[in-house]
């Protein structure tokens, strides 16, 4: 094939002699504005040479398709009167190229034009198929990345299914929620059963390197569009992004043993029964209950268990009013007698535990963690009426504990902050506290933030309360991953909290767990 491609350049040396043998005079075709005629065989005669090449390649396709030498169809050549090329039936380009090819090939066998054509068509077809294959694989990679970035927008986060946690019902066009959206990636329904190579930026394949497009979409839907919504692709550290992908994309990661399920159920029952008892016994008293998000108690205990397993010995908590009594009873393990007696209006100021309202008080307690059988010290910092004011106090207390323990890396002492959704988005002290998180003199080496999100805030529709899609968007400024989770799926909450604790103790960075639930809001 390469010899044939070089043939037009060799024909120039033969052209004059062969045309003379045909008794054909060659004249340069002159345009109205051109200079002297360009002689066809000359290397400088670009016009004639290009035309000859066109004729040659046309001849390779079909020997009968080329023009006749000496006819009126060739504006640059005229035949001498009486020559074989005169008139319309002169010698053909076919004959000319055959003779020229024989001389230019130096005795080598001349391939037939038809075989060259088949080879050319086969090569073109092969290139087309390869190009389509590459484009389809790139499309699948873009599809996977789209779910990683925007899958949380369509995740089923609202327990009632009537609200959108991101305040927007718009479905991103690059998510395959219906078959017709395959066209966004130039894919068709027939491509659903084709196998595609998985990129290194996903773990949905597990031990498999290839999956069908149908299975790829199914696994992406299960990971990013169910009861967990993940925001992490804005993080500018590849290792951290890969870590999160592996934790959530790997098939079968959310499998719990029977013992773990029983523990989760027991904690959930204790949380709910405590709220039920207070509601029946003191229905008219301020309780700032946890109704609608009772899963917060198992969530906190899961974080503490996982942190204890990774070496943490002291956990310092800060939280608003909502759920404080439940946390004191079921997490810190304050005596129930002390909590209940504070509901008695006859309690005198001189009695133990007085001096402030019961839902402002804190607690310090050291006990054995039953999951790890290790000592754990739990502190709940007292909180005034001003919501989120406790955040820098908790960070300061944690920093002091780390300093006096010589815990410069935060491997022994950590902090947990509980927030309301409206306060988290609206209080400036939250933003200020986040910006202390990585300062060398102030860092506590990562905090786990839990947002108890009832989608109501201070009795205000969030559409009228904030401009950002989520109440947690303030955490993006420090590259903290944000895990949204449906509070009516306890197993999903348990897994997310376990990953959050592991993240904090692995990378010593802040992390946010957004518990999307229902219920009343505790106001100061």
* DSSP count for the chain of H helices, then E strands: 14, 12
Copy the structure tokens of residue 49: 């040479």
Q: Is the per-residue pLDDT at 16 higher than 50?
A: no
Q: Is the per-residue pLDDT at 13 higher than 80?
A: no
Please tell me the predicted confidence (pLDDT) of residue 57: 75
- Report the range out of 156-165, 369-378, 504-513 with the highest average pLDDT: 504-513
User: Which run of H or of E encompasses 453?
Assistant: strand 447-453
Task: Report the alpha-carbon distance of residue 457 to residue 520 in Å, rounded.
Answer: 9
Band (pLDDT 50/70/90 cuts) for residue 345 is low
- Give the whole-number percent of the chain exceeding pLDDT 70: 76
Task: Report the alpha-carbon distance of residue 524 to residue 320 in Å, rounded.
Answer: 8
Cβ atoms of 24 and 69 within 8 Å: the answer is yes
Band (pLDDT 50/70/90 cuts) for residue 26 is very low
> For 418-463, how does the pLDDT look when each residue is reduced to its tens digit (9 = 90+)?
998 888 998 899 999 999 999 999 999 999 999 998 888 777 777 8
DSSP conformation class of 274: H
User: Which run of H or of E encompasses 126?
Assistant: helix 113-150
- The mean pLDDT value for 148-156 works out to 93
Cβ atoms of 369 and 333 within 8 Å: the answer is no
Copy the structure tokens of residue 77: 């050549």
Of 275, 381, 368, 284, nearest to 329 by C-alpha is 275
> Could you tell me which residue, 128 or 269, shows the higher pLDDT?
269
Residue 300 Cα to chain centre, angstroms: 27
Angle at 46 between CA 40 and CA 48, to 5 degrees: 35
Please tell me the predicted confidence (pLDDT) of residue 318: 93
What is the C-alpha radius of gyration for the chain, rounded to an integer number of angstroms?
A: 39
Report phi then psi at 198, rounded to 5: -85, 140
Q: Is the per-residue pLDDT at 285 higher than 80?
A: no
Torsion sign (Cα): 41, 43, 46, 51:
positive
Please tell me the predicted confidence (pLDDT) of residue 73: 42
Copy the structure tokens of residue 350: 């001189």
Lowest mean pLDDT segment, chosen from 94-108, 245-259, 292-306 = 94-108
- Give the whole-number percent of the chain exceeding pLDDT 90: 46
Q: Is the per-residue pLDDT at 93 higher than 80?
A: no
> For 391-424, how does the pLDDT look when each residue is reduced to its tens digit (9 = 90+)?
999 999 999 999 999 999 999 999 999 998 888 9
Report phi then psi at 182, rounded to 5: -60, -30
Please tell me the predicted confidence (pLDDT) of residue 67: 64
Please tell me the predicted confidence (pLDDT) of residue 352: 53
Report phi then psi at 391, rounded to 5: -55, -55
Of 409, 489, 496, 406, nearest to 450 by C-alpha is 496
Place of tokens 């080879």: 119
Please tell me the predicted confidence (pLDDT) of residue 485: 96
Strands (E), 124-272: 195-197, 210-212, 228-231
Angle at 375 between CA 372 and CA 377, to 5 degrees: 120
> For 463-477, how does the pLDDT look when each residue is reduced to its tens digit (9 = 90+)?
888 888 899 999 999
> Could you tell me which residue, 115 or 162, shows the higher pLDDT?
162
- The overall average pLDDT reported for the chain is 80
Band (pLDDT 50/70/90 cuts) for residue 337 is confident
């Amino acid at each position: 094939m390469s010899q044939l491609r070089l043939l037009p350049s060799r024909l120039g040396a033969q052209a004059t002699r062969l045309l003379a043998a045909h008794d054909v005079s060659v004249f340069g075709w002159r345009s109205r504005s051109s200079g002297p005629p360009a002689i066809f065989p000359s290397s400088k005669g670009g016009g004639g040479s290009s035309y000859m090449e066109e004729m040659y390649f046309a001849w390779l396709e079909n020997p009968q398709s080329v023009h006749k030498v000496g006819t009126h169809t060739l504006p640059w050549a005229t035949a001498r009167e009486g020559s074989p090329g005169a008139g319309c039936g002169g010698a053909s380009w076919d004959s000319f190229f055959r003779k020229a090819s024989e001389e230019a090939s130096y005795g080598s066998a001349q391939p037939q034009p038809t075989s060259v054509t088949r080879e050319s068509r086969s090569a073109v077809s092969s290139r087309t198929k390869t190009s389509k294959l590459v484009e389809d694989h790139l499309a699948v990679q873009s599809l996977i990345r789209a779910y990683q970035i925007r899958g949380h927008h369509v995740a089923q986060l609202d327990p009632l299914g009537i609200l959108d946690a991101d305040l927007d019902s718009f479905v991103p066009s690059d998510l395959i929620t219906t078959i017709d959206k395959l066209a966004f990636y130039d894919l068709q329904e027939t491509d659903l059963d084709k196998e595609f190579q998985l990129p290194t930026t996903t773990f949905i394949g597990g031990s498999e390197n290839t999956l069908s497009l149908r299975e790829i979409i199914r696994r992406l839907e299960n990971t990013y569009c169910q009861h967990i919504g993940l925001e992490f692709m804005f993080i500018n550290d590849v290792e951290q992004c890969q870590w999160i992908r592996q934790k959530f994309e790997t098939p079968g990661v959310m499998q719990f043993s029977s013992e773990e399920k029983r523990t989760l159920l027991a904690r959930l029952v204790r949380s709910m029964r405590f709220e039920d008892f207070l509601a029946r016994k003191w229905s008219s008293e301020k309780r700032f209950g946890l109704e609608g998000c009772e899963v917060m108690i198992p969530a906190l205990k899961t974080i503490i268990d996982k942190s204890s397993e990774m070496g943490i010995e002291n956990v310092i908590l800060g939280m608003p009013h909502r759920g404080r009594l439940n946390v004191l009873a079921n997490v810190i393990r304050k005596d129930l007698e002390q909590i209940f007696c504070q509901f008695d209006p006859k309690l005198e100021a001189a009695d133990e535990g007085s001096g402030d309202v019961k839902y402002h008080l804190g607690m310090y307690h050291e006990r054995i963690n039953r999951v790890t059988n290790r000592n754990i010290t739990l502190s709940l910092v007292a909180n005034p009426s001003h919501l989120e004011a406790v955040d820098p106090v908790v960070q300061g207390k944690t920093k002091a504990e780390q300093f006096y323990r010589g815990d410069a890396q935060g491997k022994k002492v950590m902090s947990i902050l509980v927030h309301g959704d409206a306060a988290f988005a609206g209080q400036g002290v939250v933003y200020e506290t986040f910006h202390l998180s990585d300062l060398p003199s102030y860092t506590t080496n990562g905090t786990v933030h839990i947002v108890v999100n009832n989608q109501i805030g201070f009795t205000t529709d969030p559409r009228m309360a904030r401009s950002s899609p989520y109440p947690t968007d303030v955490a993006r400024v420090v590259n903290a991953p944000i895990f949204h989770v449906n509070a009516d799926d306890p197993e999903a909450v348990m897994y997310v909290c376990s990953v959050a604790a592991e993240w904090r103790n692995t990378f010593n960075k802040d992390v946010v767990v957004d518990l999307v639930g229902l219920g009343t809001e505790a106001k100061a």
